[in-house]
Amino acid sequence: MAGSARRSEGSARLWHMTTEASGPNAKQIKLWNEVSGPNWVAQQEEFDERLEALGLAAMDRARIEAGERVLDIGCGTGQATLELARRVSDGGSVLGIDISAPMLDRARSRAAESGVRDVTFEKADAQTFEFGPARFDLIFSRFGVMFFDDPLAAFSNLRNALRPGGRLAFVCWRDPEENPWATIAVDAVGQHIPIKRPKPGVPGPFGLADSGDVAKILDKAGFSNVGFEEASGKNTLGTGGSLEDTVAHVLKLGMVADALREAEVQDTTEIAASIREAFARYATPTGVHMNSAAWIVTARSP
């Protein structure tokens, strides 16, 4: 009996993994659970510092009111989710969803430490999760909606979860060419090994960079009053430490780390030297700072 229970539990788990490994967003689910998620958790404070102001600007545009029911998509380690919960209290609630178990673990422990109430976290894919109709007044995201395999399916699913008159507000990156933090290291690495340059329109940080395409997707998904506002800032790469620390940070993260792994690079000395040279003119006593450019996107469910 115990043996068969164990067997069926095992096969259920296997079925679940197989589904995720081949279903929608399989690549991102693997990435955010196995590589990017653990890396993000390890450097959560730096990421929060980098993204906080843009997230707050998007929240301000969302005109949140106490008592509202909010969904935070790709909530990650939860900094913005907790701020949303503060803004809707008393009487409101926030659900943060994410596909990354390590990021959700951190979000849950931060929520417990903060004492903020009426916030819950769930492991769910925004593209496919059945939220139930008209469940939220606001759907928000801080850089968590650019990774969908099928953005039209995802935003249609999300619109269905909004009540009539409900709002969508999110912040996402503009074109990579306006975000040197995303291209300069990649170009330096590209002198040595194959590496994909970030592109608008493919699942990833720049998936929603083209406002024309995003307007069409949101329109087809049934949203109205779609608006784009430019928001700019400074991105501090790495920990705000020395040039050397910043290069070490970049080698461990995102597209650069992926390319190093794929090319099975053992010795990064020459690649690090090229990144160091490219970053040198951005280095200051408080770290390596580069411009960042984002869209704050707002829309309504009719």
List residues binding ligand SAM (CB under 6 A).
Answer: 25, 28, 32, 47, 51, 73-77, 79-80, 97-100, 103, 125-127, 142-144, 147-148
Q: How far apart are alpha carbons 87 and 149 in whole angstroms?
A: 31
User: Whole-number minimum distance, CB 45 to ligand SAM, in Å?
Assistant: 11
C-alpha–C-alpha distance, residues 189 and 270, integer Å? 9
Residue 248 Cβ vs ligand SAM, minimum distance, rounded to whole Å: 21
- Shorter beta-carbon distance to ligand SAM: residue 50 or 243: 50
Residue from 286, 161, 146 nearest 223 by CA: 161
- Which residues, in sequence order, are CB contacts of 82 under 8 Å at separation 6+? 110, 111, 114, 116, 119
How many helices (H) and strands (E) the chain has is answered by 12, 8
**Closer to ligand SAM by Cβ: residue 98 or 137:** 98
Question: Minimal distance in Å, beta carbon 142 to ligand SAM?
Answer: 4
Beta carbon nearer to ligand SAM, 26 or 283: 26
Instruction: Give the Cα separation of 21 and 45 in Å (integer).
Output: 30
Nearer to ligand SAM, 93 or 141 (CB): 141
Name the amino acid, one letter, at 91: G
Nearer to ligand SAM, 37 or 240 (CB): 37
In angstroms, rounded to a whole number, what is the distance separating the alpha carbons of residues 160 and 164?
A: 9
Give the shortest CB-145-to-ligand SAM separation in angstroms. 8
Pick the closer one to ligand SAM by CB: 58 or 260: 58
Q: What whole-number distance in Å separates Cα of residue 244 and Cα of residue 296?
A: 33
Residue labelled with tokens 């916030």: 119
What is the full DSSP assignment across 142-193? ES-SS--SSHHHHHHHHHHHEEEEEEEEEEEE--GGG-HHHHHHHHHHTTTS
Taking the complex as a whole, the smallest distance from the CB of residue 79 to ligand SAM amounts, in Å, to 6
CA neighbor of 288 nearest in space, from 274, 276, 271? 276
C-alpha span between 208 and 194 (Å, rounded) = 24
As measured in angstroms, the least distance from the Cβ of 106 to ligand SAM is 10
* Least distance in angstroms from the C-beta of 28 to ligand SAM: 5
Based on CB atoms, which residue is closest to ligand SAM, 28 or 246? 28
CB of 239 to ligand SAM, least distance (A): 16
Are 259 and 181 within 8 A, CB to CB? no
104/260 with CB nearer ligand SAM = 104
